Structure 1
Amino acid sequence: MSDALITLYPWIKAFHIMAVMSWMAGLFYLPRLYVYHVERAGEVKGAGAIFDTMEYKLLRFIMRPAMFASWILGLLLVATPGIVDWSWIWPWTKGAAVLAMTGFHMWLAARRRDFEQGRNRLTGRQYRIMNEVPTVLMAVIVISVVVKF
């Protein structure tokens, strides 16, 4: 198995990067949709249902598969011999940030259910602030992997 992982490493890494990019795009866009949902859905009849559909499809058909692919491919990268030295700090900071990003993904999914059930209590401003979370986590992950402190 380890020989196969070493041979396939460039391919796994390439697909991992693509999956992460797709996941991050959704993590950046979904909170912004929530801002517009809160602030603009009441202006046009039926807009709330349109936002519900857009949010559901983004989460279900783009973000969730991208998150699973990111995790699976990332774990394959970690399992590749010689890639991760666990005595360094960077794999731990990256891992913590990925767990936090997954938690944020789940938080976004819970907020979508709130919208769907008419229970949203957050404001557009609060969603704008939460929209910064994936940026901070992305910075931690990229610096951890590139700088390898």
Structure 2
Amino acid sequence: MTTILWLKAFHVFFMVAWFAGIFYLPRIFVNHAESNEPLVQQHFKGMERRLLYFITPFAIFTVLLGIAIIIQYGYAWFVAAKWLHIKISLVVLLLIYHGYCFKLVNTFAADKNTRSGKFYRFFNEIPVILMLAIIILVYIKPF
């Protein structure tokens, strides 16, 4: 049981670090989309790229530790834990979101963004909703 607790502790640590960055990155997109100053836009390009590459290992460790936890609990537990299947689906959506952020960083880097700051404000809410749903699934286990 001690191994599972250590895995869970590090899983949560990397998840929190990942979400901190995935919450902040779209806020940079908002400011970038609303800026008309070339020097400021250049600064945002660097911030976006560095942040995305900084948080990507956190996403990888979150997923790997989640898999390790599933392995520790065993196949029978995995099959019975219906809430976990939904959680995994939501994590896959979050990984797609993360991957799409790479596209957005490249779009901004090429000065090809056509979306408004308002779009990115809404875009920023997606990981918030996913995190809430994931936390409810993990702690309440409604299924």
Shorter-chain TM-score bucket reads over 0.9
Q: Aligned pair 1:104/2:97, yes or no? A: yes
Matches within 5 A, 1:85-100: 85-100=78-93
Q: Aligned pair 1:21/2:16, yes or no? A: yes
Task: Return the offset for 1:82.
Answer: 5.3
Q: CA RMSD in A?
A: 1.5
Alignment size in residue pairs: 141
Aligned equivalents of 1:102 and 1:29: distance in 2?
16
- Structure 2 residue runs of 5 or longer lacking an equivalent are none
Aligned equivalents of 1:96 and 1:125: distance in 2?
27
Matches within 5 A, 1:37-116: 37-40=32-35, 42-43=36-37, 45-61=38-54, 63-81=55-73, 84-116=77-109
- Structure 1 residue runs of 5 or longer lacking an equivalent are 1-5
Task: Return the offset for 1:85.
Answer: 4.1
Identity %: 33
Q: 1:11-42: per-residue Cα shift (whole Å, max 9, x none)?
A: 111111110001101111000100000112x2
Task: Return the offset for 1:89.
Answer: 2.3
User: Which aligned runs of 4 or more in structure 1 are off by greater than 3 angstroms?
Assistant: 82-85
Task: Return the offset for 1:117.
Answer: 0.8
SS at match of 1:108: helix
Aligned equivalents of 2:91 and 2:73: distance in 1?
21
Aligned equivalents of 2:114 and 2:101: distance in 1?
13
Task: Return the offset for 1:9.
Answer: 1.4
Aligned equivalents of 1:85 and 1:116: distance in 2?
42
Higher helix share: 2
Partner AA of 2:4 in structure 1: Y
Tell me which residue corresponds to 1:3: none
Q: Aligned pair 1:127/2:120, yes or no? A: yes
Aligned equivalents of 1:64 and 1:32: distance in 2?
17
Aligned equivalents of 1:78 and 1:102: distance in 2?
18
Contact 1:31 1:128 in 2 (8 A): yes
Contact 1:93 1:140 in 2 (8 A): no
